[in-house]
Every structure is written in structure tokens, then in C-alpha cells.
Amino acid sequence: MQDSMTYSGSLTIDLKALEDNYRLLQSVAVQNCAIAGVIKANAYGLGAIQVFDRLITIGCPQFFVATLDEALALRDHHHNANIAVLGGLFTGAENTYAAHNITPVLNTPQDIQTWAAMAKSVQRKLPAFIHFDTGMNRLGLSADEAKALIDDQSILEGIDVQAIMSHFACADDHTHALTQSQADQFAAISAHFPTIKKSLANSSGLFLDKAYHYDMARPGYALYGGNPTPHLNNPMKPVAHLKTRVLQIRVCKKGESIGYGASYGFDKDTRTATVALGYADGFLRSHSSYPHKPNAKLFFEDTPCDVIGRVSMDLVTVDISHIPQLKQGDWLEVLGFNQGVDDLAETSGTIGYEILTSLGARYKRAYI
Ligand SMILES: *Cc1c(COP(=O)(O)O)cnc(C)c1O
């Protein structure tokens, strides 16, 4: 049996495009602004180890993941890389951080105390980032906690602060006023830590204002081809190329319906293709067709085909009335040059981040 016969979905991850995206971000950043790689959630679904390896090869100086487990998996793979965990330091984990040379992002006064105590007990300085909340209200020291730290910085003793950081809530909306307010608060906090490095911008933040760049930016999404400038054309190259096969072609008759719930009815005879792609593959059920919702699309070469009816677990159906040459076994593009992650997300009220991190396990994955 040919290898190509064993799978029906093919996900190719273009590490050269990832590399080009990294370099583009470097060229956008002010001089002396390091570009870290955010590779949490399995590098946004694309494969943390492969992405990590490639970014190390091209000199990426710092990595961020969400959880300690994610960091440990990377540490097993590479002994020297700088790996930081955004999710903070829950009590009891500090020994593991220190033993494996993983850097915590300290989000609370308790995190700072725990890590300072750990440094004391091992009698060496331990690295950490310190996260200040500036309006996201998710993680990081509150304004009051920040003030207490500023007034008494002695509690940082023993901690080798890699950078102080904050995170934008609305950087993808270039008109949103919260971004500048967050940047102002961050600048005010920064003034109290003149000798410590600073990090503020995510992917979109890098494209907004050079004043947000500081010493280190923390892009994730743009590395993977997501558009950091949603109001403008996407400057990034697509990294995920996903295609899947046509399993069956049929002509549905006027008056019939298609799929679960019989939710889509035909007002004329219609040629359709049933494709090997479903919500179990991360093709979201919200890509189903609904009245008054834009249709999600798959592409045959560069011709779009509308998704019709419900997305089911393993299957989706598309209207191919306009492509008479399409036949069973042909491949349709889900993500790639015709349709980026932002384009697919937009049809279904979600964001490209969710499209990427939902990518399923059944695809034949290849790295080029
Ligand atoms: C996820 C994350 C990033 C990366 O954001 P993108 O929008 O993907 O560039 C940066 N910083 C923090 C704190 C994050 O949680």
C-alpha cells in the first residue's frame, strides 16, 4: 500500500516560513530589542519541539511556554535554552523549576516570596521575570502590589530579574485606547527599575509603536503566520498548510437536504463533495453553514467551495457545482496560500489562534 493511501488529511508545517517570520519580526523591532519565541500550547498547535529547534538554530534567545510541563518537555530536548513559564509558580513547584533551570514568570507577591526563599536555600541567584498587570486583569502584580514592590525592592533579593513585563489586552485592535493606557502604566512602573530589562509587546504590539518594543518582544501568533495587523494585509508567511481529500461526490436533488439536522436544503440540483475533515480534526463545528453567516470555505486549487450543512465529527460537505473537473480523491486546501488562519477564523466568529491550537491529531504531519 502506498503511504499516501493511509491518511486523508495532510498538515505540512513550513519551518522555513517560520524562520522568515522570525527574521521579519527582528527587522520590525528596534535595535537591541530581542525577539523571544512564545511556543506555548505545542507552539500554537504546530509542534513545540520542531519550532523550538528551528528557533534555537537561528539564535532565538528566550522561549516562553504556559506550563511547567511544557517547559520540562523542552528542557529534556535542549539543556541550555532559556525557557520561561508564563503561568507563574504554584507552591511546591519551585524545586522543579530550580532543578531544571526553568525560569518562572512571577505573577503574585507570593510567587516572588517563594522564589526568593528558594534562592536563599540554594544560595545562588535564581532567574525570573516579574509580570505587572496593567489592565488585562488576568495575571501579574496589581497596581497596589506593584507599588508595594517599588517601595520595598529588597524582597527581590536573590532573584536575578531577567526583565519586568506586562501584556496587552487589545493590541490586535489598533484603535483601542487601552493599549496606550497599559503602555503608560508600564512606563511608569519601568521608571522605578532603571537597571532592569523590560518586555511588553506581543506580535501585534510590535507593529503598533516602537515605544512598546523595549528590550524584548514576545511574539507567538505572527511567528506561525497569523496576521498581527488585522486592519492591514498580513505581512507574515503562512506556516500551516493543511489539505484534505474528497471521499465522495454526489448530486443532491432539489428539495433534499444534507448532513446532520438536515439543516441545509437544496433549492436546485447541486453537485457536492464529502471531504475527510471534521470537528475531531479541529475543523470547528462553528464552520457549519447557518443562515446569515458567511460560509467557511475549502479551496480546489485557487477556487473556493462553500461549506454547506453541518460539520460532523469526521466529515464536511462542500458545494462543488462550479468545479465539474473535481473528482473523488482530489485534495482540497483548508489552510495555506489561498486561505490563512485569519481568513478561516473570520467566517466563523473566532480567531486564528483557535484555528491553529485546534489542529487535530489525525493529519499526516510533515515538517519542511
Ligand atoms: C501568549 C502570550 C504572548 C504571545 O502573544 P501573541 O499574540 O501570540 O503574539 C505574549 N505574552 C504573553 C504574556 C502571552 O500570554
**179 and 80 assigned to the same domain:** yes
**171 and 93 assigned to the same domain:** yes
- 231 domain residue, yes or no: no
Centroid of ligand 1 to alpha carbon of 9 (angstroms): 29
**163 and 59 assigned to the same domain:** yes
State the total domains in the chain: 2
CATH code, domain with 204: 3.20.20.10
- 189 domain residue, yes or no: yes
Tell which residue, 87, 12, 19, 98, has the closest CA to residue 53.
19
Look at residue 105 in the predicted model and tell me its pLDDT.
98
CATH code, domain with 288: 2.40.37.10
- 191 domain residue, yes or no: yes
- 335 domain residue, yes or no: yes
Global model pTM greater than 0.85: yes
- 362 domain residue, yes or no: yes
The Cα 158–Cα 161 span in angstroms is 9
- 27 domain residue, yes or no: no
- 265 domain residue, yes or no: yes
Of 190, 224, 258, which residue sits at a domain end?
A: 224
Ligand 1, CB within 6 Å, residue ranges: 38, 40, 86, 167, 202-203, 218-221
Q: Do the Cβ atoms of 200 and 186 come closer than 8 Å?
A: yes
**217 and 249 assigned to the same domain:** no
For residue 202, give the ligand 1 atom closest to its CA: 9
Look at residue 3 in the predicted model and tell me its pLDDT.
56
Q: What are phi and psi of 167, to 5 degrees?
A: -135, 135
Of 192, 224, 256, which residue sits at a domain end?
A: 224
260 is catalytic: yes
Q: What are phi and psi of 144, to 5 degrees?
A: -65, -45
**260 and 362 assigned to the same domain:** yes
* Residue span of the structural domain in which 276 resides: 240-367
**251 and 296 assigned to the same domain:** yes
Tell which residue, 269, 282, 277, 363, has the closest CA to residue 320.
269
Catalytic-role residue among 22, 40, 212, 264:
40
Secondary structure tally for the chain: helices H, strands E: 11, 19
Q: For the chain, list residues with pLDDT below 70.
A: 1-4
Centroid of ligand 1 to alpha carbon of 51 (angstroms): 16
Amino acid in position 174: H
**Cell matching residue 49:** 519541539
- Residues with Cβ within 8 Å of 184's Cβ and at least 6 positions away in sequence, in order, are none
Going through 6-56 in order, the beta strands assigned E by DSSP cover: 9-13, 34-35, 37-38
Amino acid in position 34: A
**74 and 121 assigned to the same domain:** yes
221 is catalytic: no
**181 and 277 assigned to the same domain:** no
**Cell matching residue 42:** 505545542
